[in-house]
Amino acid sequence: MDRATFLARHTASWRQAWTDVGAQAPAGLLERLCEAYDEPQRHYHSLQHLDECLVLLGAHRALSERPAEVALGLWFHDAVYDVRANDNEARSADWARDALVASGAPTEAAARVHALVMATRHAQPGAQTPEDPDTRLLLDVDLAILGAPPDRYAEYERQIRAEYAHVPPEVFEPRRRQLMAGFLARAPLYLTAGIHAARETQARRNLAAAVTGIERAPTRRP
């Protein structure tokens, strides 16, 4: 998705989210975030993904207690994305919290948005299921791609592989299989009724096919 189209779709809701948390969007921050999501190493974690998240949130906004905070959590959840780093969520969460505090937003709101971004680390099976409806909704929105139609899901898999093109197949494929199998093992995968009803069945089909496909893929480079 090109930046002009993205901004035309979401600038108004960006401003509204800041108003709803009792602050004014910092000057230039929207442009800096768009630049971040447009970085060349991003193939999936891009404006396309952010657009899909914000559109889905709009459709399920009624499920949230504090929809503006969920929106800002989504805006920042992949603000920092370095495939070689393991602290992307923490750095993204800190950026969100610091921006909110600097803008004059309540410290409680800044802390909640920070926690929402940190939740996108997606705890492994066995971890406690979040009870907070805003966290549940944000996680479901972030993982909605797993329940996308087959063509979009296949594109997603190609995009992820492109982001990790530097990782040899014999390393990438077992790790990817473990991650996808972990999501498949969740029961349920989606925690909000509307997204569960719309995407759970397709997600399980996509994940099962992905795990099988990765298992059958050659493990040596040609």
Q: Is the pLDDT of residue 222 over 50?
A: no
Tokens of 212: 């099988």
Q: What is the pLDDT of residues 193-209, one digit of tens each?
A: 999 999 999 999 999 99
Q: Is the pLDDT of residue 59 over 50?
A: yes
State mean pLDDT over 8-21: 97
Q: Which of the 8 DSSP states describes residue 131?
A: -
Average pLDDT, the chain: 93
Tokens of 84: 């070689």
pLDDT at residue number 219: 44
Query: In the block, which residue shows the tokens 């921006």?
Result: 99
Structural element, H or E, at residue 53: helix 47-59
Query: In the block, which residue shows the tokens 């602050």?
Result: 23
Domain segments of the chain: what residues? 1-123, 143-222
Q: What is the pLDDT of residues 116-143, one digit of tens each?
A: 999 999 865 555 688 899 999 999 999 9
Q: What is the pLDDT of residues 143-201, one digit of tens each?
A: 999 999 999 999 999 999 999 999 999 999 999 999 999 999 999 999 999 999 999 99
pTM of the full structure: 0.93
Please return the burial class of 159, using the count of CB atoms within 10 Å of its CB with bins 0-12, 13-18 and 19+. middle
pLDDT at residue number 123: 67
pLDDT at residue number 129: 80
